[in-house]
A and B are shown apart, each in its own frame.
Chain A
Amino acid sequence: MPSTFSKQTIGYGIAAIIAILGNTVLVVIKEENPAVKAFMKQLLYHHWIAQGVAVLLVFLVLGFILTRMSRSSPARWLTPSLIAASALGALGIIALFLFE
């Protein structure tokens, strides 16, 4: 009876946690530093496009690498960590634009 997660679920799960929190960190850095925002705009026409590409690349590339490094395991921390990262990520963005 399998009660373990596959290595893909674990690898891409960790990547999702990092990408979600990284997205919020990048928003804070970008909004607080106009030079970073201008650089992102210069890179891919619009800062939002650059942000989306960066976050998706982090998730997909990191997920691919971490899957190769992971093993099937119960990983009881995975679900609560993903919930916490999603909540923290969303609250961080809300707080930034609420108090800016």
Chain B
Amino acid sequence: MREFLLMIHPTTGALAIFCAIWFMVEVLNASERNRGRTRFAALSSMLLMVATYIAGGYWYVVYYAADKAVILKGAWPFAHTFFMEAKEHAFFITLILSIYLVIVARKEDFVRSRSARVLAVWIGLLVIASAFAAEGAGSLVAMGVRMGLTQSGI
């Protein structure tokens, strides 16, 4: 169960990135016909990011302490002291941007307003870049645990 929980949040995070890319493609090809699809892409990205927040947060608060102890005793303590610390706090930027994405998608007319398209594409890019960085940091945290376990001969 613990391992399953651990796998949920990077999966929903990756799917949220895909939906943000999909949203950007719809905005860059904005027309009267894809209005609904654009909003659905933004909403999907946000819901998946909220799921990432809940699943990742639950795992972090309940289970991470044991992994943290292994990392800190291993060869890669920076996997916690830098990557995990930065990731857990910078994630709130991604979360806020993905919620804001839905508001912009609902309230702006991407067909007629260039400035709305520019804003939407930039928010999408920021969500994608920050979420990718979190995915990368997560893999370094996992490697930090592995290094700790290898060193202790487990």
Contact = CB atoms under 8 A, between A and B. Distances in A.
Nearest to A98: B82
B90 interface: yes
B103 A83 contact: no
A51 B97 contact: no
Task: Among B60, B118, B123, find the residue whose CB has the most chain A CB atoms closer than 10 A.
Answer: B123
Contacts of A68: none
B92 A9 contact: no
Contacts of A9: 103-104, 107-108, 116, 119
Main secondary structure of the interface of B (DSSP, over half): helix
A76 B122 contact: no
A75 to B, nearest CB: 8
A47 to B, nearest CB: 10
Given A48-B88, A49-B57, A79-B122, A3 B107 contact: no
Interface residues of A, number: 40
Interface string B25-50: 00000000000000000000000000
A97 B113 CA distance: 40
B122 A83 contact: yes
Interface string A19-40: 1100110010000000000000
Given A9-B103, A86-B97, 5 more contacts: A9-B108, A20-B93, A20-B96, A74-B115, A82-B122
Interface of B: 53, 57, 60-61, 81-82, 85-86, 88-90, 92-93, 95-97, 99-100, 103-104, 106-109, 112-116, 118-119, 122-123, 126, 130, 133
